[in-house]
Structures are given as C-alpha cells and as structure tokens.
C-alpha cells in the first residue's frame, strides 16, 4: 500500500495558474495606478466594473458553491449603502471608516436573516430572500432621517474632492480583487471543501461529518459582508442613495445572475469573464439599454437551459486548464519513485 | 367597525392572492418546479388584455375568453420547449432560467408600453357594489375575484380527484419515475400542469389589472404575494393556499388600517412569523424542499 501511495501526490498549481498569478499581479499594479493618470469619469466607470465583479463573485460563492441561490442580494447592497449614509449623515462618522463598519453591521444582520431564510430550500429559498429584501426596503422607506422614499445624498462636504475620488476608486478595486481573493481562500480551505462536498451530495457530506448548517451560515455571512461593503463603495461613488435604486432586484441581482450564468457558475473564472463581457457589451450598447437587458436575459435563459457550464466551464472542459488553482488533482510521480518508494 | 371592514376587504383581496398562488402551488406540487416569472406572466396578461380591449372595444373581463386559452397554449409550450429541460435538475438552473425569463418579459413590456402605470377599464363595474350598512360596503369586482378563486380551486380539486388526467397528476407528483413506468406520459402531464398554472396566472393578472394600476415591473411583487400565500397555507394543500391568501390579505388590510405604510410590511411579517414558528405552513404536510 505504501508503495502505491507514494506514487501519487496531490497537486493544485499548474503552469497556467502560475502564469495567471503573474499576469494578475501585474494587472493589479496597473489598476492601482489608474487614479494618477485617468480621468474622473473613467475612474467612475471602473468603479462600476469592480462592483459587478465583486457582487458576481459573491453570488457565485453562494449559488455556485454553497447551494444558496439567493435572489435577495439587493438587500445587502441597500443595507451597506444605507448603513454608510446613517453613519455619515446622521452620526457624523468618518466617510471611509463608515464603509467597513456598515458592512459589518449588515453582516451581523445577515445572521437573523439566515435563521429565517435557511428554513426554505432551493427555489423557495430564492423567493424567501427576495421577500426579506422587500422587507428591508419597506423599512428603510419609512426612515425620514434617511430621506424616506425619495432618498438622500451622502454628506461629503469637508472631504477633498480628488482624495475622495481616488479613495473611492481604490476601495472599489479592493472590493473587486478582494472578492476574488476571498472566494479563492475559502475554496482552498477546509470550509470550501466541505461546502463543495455538501453541494455535490448533501447526505453524503453530512454522513462524513460536514456540518451543513454551520458551513452554509459562515459562507452566507462572509458573502453578506462583502456584498454590503461593495454596495457602500458603489454609493460612495454615486453619492445619491435611493431605496428604489439600492434595493432594486433589476439593478443588482438580475445583472449578477446573468453575469455568473453566462460566465460559468461554480468556477472562480466564470464571474470574472462574465462581468467583463457583460460590462463591455453594456457600454457598447449604452443607447439601447432596454434591448440590451432583454438580449442578455435571453442569453442567460439559453445558457441555463443549453449551456450550463457557461463560457468558462466550456473552455475548461476543452483546454483542461484552471487559472485559479483551487481544485486538487492526483498526479502520478515518476515511475522510479514508485519502485523505490515505501 | 373599521376593523371588521378591514377583515372583510382583506378577505376579498385574499382571493386574488390565492389566484396568484394557485399556479405556483400546482407547478410545485406536480413537478417540483418554481417559475419565478409567474408574476411577470400575470402582468403581461393584463397588458395583453388592455391592448385587445382597446382594439376590439370589449370589456377586459370579456377579453378573458381570448386571454385564457392563449395562456393555456403559452404555458404548455413554455413547459415543452423550455422548462422540460430543467425539471428535476439542480434547482439553481430553474431559478436562473425562470428569473431570466422574468427579466426579459419585464423589459419587453417596458419597451412596448413604457413605465407609465396602466389600468383595465371595466366601466361602471369598477366602483359598484352593495352596502351592508353605513360603514361597510362590498364591491362586485372583489367579490367576483374571490368567487373566481374559489371556483378555480374547487375545479382543480375536482379535476385532481375525479379525472383520469388528475390521477396522473397525483401519480406524477408522488413519484415521477414510477408514474412513467406505469405508462403515464409525464411530459404531457407537466405540460398540462404548466398550462393550467399560466392560465391561472393570466386570470389573476387580468383581475388584478381591473382593480389596481400596474406597471411593467410589478410582476415580482405578485409572485411574492402568491408565494407567501402558498407558504402560509402550507405546500401541497390547495385549500391551504386559499386560506393562506386570505390571511395575507387580512394581515395587509389590518396593517393598512393601523398606518397606510404598514400594509405590505404586516403581510410580510405574518409570512416570516409562519416561517419561524410553523415552517410547514398551516395545512402543509411535507418538508419545504
């Protein structure tokens, strides 16, 4: 037996993943320098892209890996945004610190939300999260100190304009890259292994000792935190916060779902590719916004029906590469090792 | 007396919610399928009734003789051409496909009819009714709606119990594979079930359009009310769905009586409370799977 075992080892990296790491680090370096040479309008556009990247990656973590298909992610975007507005406008807190604090508050709120929503499964969980997002929105609409139904502008007077623009851009970059990093680290961890085991075979994973409820709850809270963080950053750029925008399923969850399904659900690369494709095409078809939404919806429906692996899943199947090394592969070592081993 | 009135009006609205819920309940019962575009199909039906009513110069309620058969066909085709592929697989693809379909419907309606709110004009019927006393009066339209809900649910219950196809529905619901082995054409069963589901959605959508205004993006809220009625009543119980709808309607009416802003919230809170304290619903038997 020992001879047999010594003949294999578990490998995660690959040449492709090492190249990808180098390219990614170089890209992050370039993206970090953007505020020093790009216009404010370009930076705002990039904030939108990073927002989509982050939200899509978090939804993918929930839906593609943890089996929690939520249609209520707009609840956390809205809570992140309104938490920040409450901290800054009502309580006079620092603009930038309010972003993580607001995300933390949303993460705390996500626990009682989970206690209710986790009673539903599958499609009913999806609609249940939607109801909760409606409730959050209806409660916010009644807060006159937060502008009620018509919304409120974030108080940014006293903060230098250029510093604020740069800081917002970098925070958005952190949101986008951080989402990828969080998803990557979770998938490499024991938690990630449990999560995927549960997704593939819940009863089997339970039998092997995975704590299904706890695993799902942890992933849910992390995703809620980062979704709220991203929502706060987006509205730090947008400044005007309105319930019908920030809690809108059409603004947030719809594009996210479309992005992930087109890119490839259940892979780290999928949401990145999906967000880039979606964002670039949306900019291109800016004048035909409604038709673009119709078209992307049709493509998402078609992908869900006929091309479930999405763009990246199809590429991966053909080329057999992983850009982000999260999967464990068993590799046979050289024959001499097998003979000498043991 | 205002409270009694609130309960009464809430009960009548509950009939509408039950109608929205019937199709959801049916599709879930027969094939464990949840159509997230259910509400959008209902709103689309209201728009189609509006256009037909303007073209033909008929009362929107009469237009139902065109809309309902049309909805049956649409439902059957949706199931056979699209949804059949995703029955029984990982529910995430059901969610994505039907959610995506909803997005498409909403934006097509927006493109054709703009975001302006619309209403279906049923003439003098809209405001007419009869008085019980000085404070309480009952509108004919809400009464007709509740009557429709009771009629549809009774018809469905009879159909399930008495007909051959109804027996096939129940067999498919219990065990699709065994039903197939017994010679039941389960694809036809699924198709007919979705045809009924979409037709009830269309009926609910048109009745909804005659009493309140609607816009292209109102579908999800209708879906949510229907879903809440299903869960409150309990999965797998058709009569539970009616009572669930009524409870939701009454909760909203009482909430609205306390403060106009609390109507919707009160309904949601009753739903959440049921979820926490009695997750199988009031009359449900099974697990929420």
> Using CB atoms, which residue from B91, B220, B288 is nearest to A69?
B91
* pLDDT, position A14: 80
* pLDDT, position B141: 87
The answer to whether the CB atoms of B92 and A63 lie below 8 A apart is: yes
- Mean pLDDT computed over every residue of chain A: 87
Which has the minimum average pLDDT: A5-14, A112-121, A206-215, B199-208?
A5-14
* pLDDT, position B234: 85
* pLDDT per residue as tens, chain B (289 positions): 788 888 998 999 999 999 999 999 898 888 888 899 999 999 999 999 999 988 888 888 888 999 999 999 999 999 999 998 888 777 888 888 999 999 999 999 999 998 888 888 877 777 787 887 877 888 888 898 999 999 999 999 899 889 988 888 888 888 888 888 888 888 888 999 999 999 999 999 999 999 888 999 999 999 999 999 998 988 877 888 999 999 999 999 999 989 888 888 999 999 999 988 888 888 876 544 3
Q: Which residue of A has its CA nearest to B84?
A: A305
- Is B270 buried (19+), middle (13-18) or exposed (0-12) by CB count in 10 A? buried
> Does residue A2 surpass a pLDDT of 70?
no
Instruction: Kindly state the average pLDDT of the residues A180-200.
Output: 89
Mention every residue, 6+ apart, whose C-beta is less than 8 A from residue B226.
Answer: B17, B20, B21, B23, B24, B38, B39, B204
Our measurement of the distance from residue A322's CA atom to the centroid of its chain's CA atoms, rounded to an integer in Å, reads 19
Substitution target in B103, B221, B236, B287 with the highest count of A β-carbons within 10 Å is B103
Q: Which residue of A has its CA nearest to B261?
A: A142
Q: Which residue of A has its CA nearest to B230?
A: A124
* pLDDT, position A41: 87
Q: How many CA atoms, within 13 angstroms, populate the side-chain half-sphere of residue B187?
A: 9
The answer to whether the CB atoms of B224 and A134 lie below 8 A apart is: yes
> Using CB atoms, which residue from B93, B221, B275 is nearest to A119?
B275
Angle between helices B91-113 and A289-306 (to 10 degrees): 160
Distance to chain B for A299, nearest Cα, Å: 9
Distance CA A313, CA A330 (A): 20
Strands (E) located in B171-234: none
* pLDDT, position B287: 47
B210 close to B61: Cβ distance less than 8 angstroms: yes
User: CA separation (Å) from A131 to A123, A162, A164, B281?
Assistant: 13, 40, 35, 16
More confident site: A2 or B225: B225
Give A129-184 pLDDT, tens digit per residue: 999 999 999 999 988 888 888 888 888 887 888 888 999 999 999 999 999 999 99
Neighbours of A134 (CB within 10 A): 21
Which has the minimum average pLDDT: A15-19, A90-94, B222-226?
A15-19
Give A49-74 pLDDT, tens digit per residue: 999 999 999 999 999 998 899 999 99
Tell me which chain B residues have a C-beta less than 8 angstroms from the C-beta of A297: 100-101, 103-104, 107
For A277, list phi and psi in degrees, rounded to 5. -60, -50
Contact residues, A window 164-223, toward B, CB-based 8 Å cutoff:
none
Distance to chain B for A68, nearest Cα, Å: 9
Distance to chain A for B1, nearest Cα, Å: 28
**Gyration radius of chain B's alpha carbons:** 19
Q: How many CA atoms, within 13 angstroms, populate the side-chain half-sphere of residue A251?
A: 16
The answer to whether the CB atoms of B265 and A138 lie below 8 A apart is: yes
User: CA separation (Å) from A215 to A68, A197, B287?
Assistant: 11, 11, 21
The answer to whether the CB atoms of B276 and A124 lie below 8 A apart is: no
Q: Is A291 on the interface with B (CB under 8 A)?
A: yes
> Using CB atoms, which residue from B101, B111, B224 is nearest to A290?
B111
Distance CA B52, CA B113 (A): 14
Distance to chain A for B96, nearest Cα, Å: 6
More confident site: B114 or A272: A272
A83 close to A205: Cβ distance less than 8 angstroms: no
Q: Could you tell me whether strands A329-332 and A8-11 are parallel, antiparallel, or unpaired per DSSP bridges?
A: antiparallel
The CA-based diameter of chain B, rounded to the nearest angstrom, is: 62
Q: Say what the pTM is.
A: 0.89
């Amino acid at each position: 037996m020992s001879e047999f075992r010594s003949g294999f080892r578990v490998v995660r990296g690959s040449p492709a993943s090492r190249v990808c790491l180098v390219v990614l680090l170089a890209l992050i370096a370039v993206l970090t320098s953007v505020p020093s040479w790009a216009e404010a309008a370009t930076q705002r556009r990039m904030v939108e892209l990073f927002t989509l990247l982050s939200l899509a990656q978090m939804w993918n973590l929930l839906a593609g890996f943890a089996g929690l298909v939520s249609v209520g992610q707009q609840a956390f975007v809205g809570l992140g945004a309104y938490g920040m507005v409450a901290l800054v406008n009502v309580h006079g807190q620092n603009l930038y610190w309010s972003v993580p604090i607001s995300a933390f508050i949303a993460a705390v709120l996500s626990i009682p939300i989970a206690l209710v929503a986790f009673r539903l499964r599958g499609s009913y969980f999806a609609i249940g999260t939607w109801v909760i997002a409606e409730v959050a929105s209806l409660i916010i609409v009644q807060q006159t100190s937060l502008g009620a139904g018509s919304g409120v502008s974030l108080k940014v007077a006293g903060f230098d304009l250029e510093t604020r623009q740069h800081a917002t851009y970098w925070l958005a970059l952190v949101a986008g890259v951080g989402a990828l990093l969080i998803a990557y680290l979770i998938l490499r961890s024991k938690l990630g292994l449990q999560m995927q085991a549960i997704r593939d075979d819940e009863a089997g994973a339970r039998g092997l000792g995975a704590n299904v409820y706890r695993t799902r709850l942890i992933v849910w809270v992390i995703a809620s935190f980062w979704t709220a963080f991203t929502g706060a950053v987006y509205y730090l750029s947008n400044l005007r916060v309105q319930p019908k925008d920030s809690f809108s399923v059409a603004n947030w969850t719809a594009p996210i779902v479309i992005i992930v399904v087109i890119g490839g659900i259940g892979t780290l690369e999928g949401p990145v590719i999906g967000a880039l494709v979606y964002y670039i095409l949306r900019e291109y078809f800016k004048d035909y916004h409604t038709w673009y939404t119709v078209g992307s919806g049709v493509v998402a429906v078609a992908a869900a029906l006929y091309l479930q692996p999405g763009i990246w899943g199809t590429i991966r199947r053909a080329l057999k590469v992983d850009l982000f090394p999260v999967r464990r592969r068993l590799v046979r070592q050289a024959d001499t090792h097998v003979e000498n081993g043991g | 007396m205002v409270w009694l009135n609130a309960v009464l009006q809430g009960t009548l609205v509950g009939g509408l919610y039950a109608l929205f819920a019937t199709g959801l309940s049916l599709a879930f019962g027969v094939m464990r399928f949840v159509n997230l575009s259910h509400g959008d199909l209902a709103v689309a039906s209201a728009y189609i009734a509006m256009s037909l009513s303007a073209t033909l110069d008929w009362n929107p309620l009469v237009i139902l003789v065109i809309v309902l058969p049309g909805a049956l066909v649409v439902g059957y085709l949706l199931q056979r051409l699209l949804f059949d592929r995703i029955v029984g697989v990982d529910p995430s693809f059901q969610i994505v496909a039907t959610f995506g379909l909803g997005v498409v419907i909403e934006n097509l309606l927006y493109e054709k009819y703009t975001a302006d709110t619309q209403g279906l004009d049923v003439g003098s019927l809209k405001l007419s009714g009869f008085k019980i006393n000085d404070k309480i009066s009952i509108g004919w339209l809400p009464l007709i709606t509740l009557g429709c809900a009771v009629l549809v649910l009774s018809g469905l219950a009879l159909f399930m119990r008495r007909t051959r196809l109804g027996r096939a529905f129940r067999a498919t619901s219990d065990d699709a594979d065994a039903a197939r082995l017994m010679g039941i054409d389960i694809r036809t069963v699924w198709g007919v079930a979705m045809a009924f589901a979409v037709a009830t959605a269309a009926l609910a959508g048109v009745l909804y359009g005659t009493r309140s205004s609607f816009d292209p993006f109102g579908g999800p809220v209708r879906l949510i009310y229907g879903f809440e009625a299903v869960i409150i009543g309990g999965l797998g119980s058709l009569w539970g769905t009616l009572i669930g709808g009524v409870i939701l309607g009454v909760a909203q009416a009482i909430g609205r009586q306390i403060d106009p802003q609390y109507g919707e919230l009160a309904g949601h809170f009753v739903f959440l409370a049921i979820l926490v304290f009695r997750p199988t619903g009031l009359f449900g038997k099974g697990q929420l799977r």
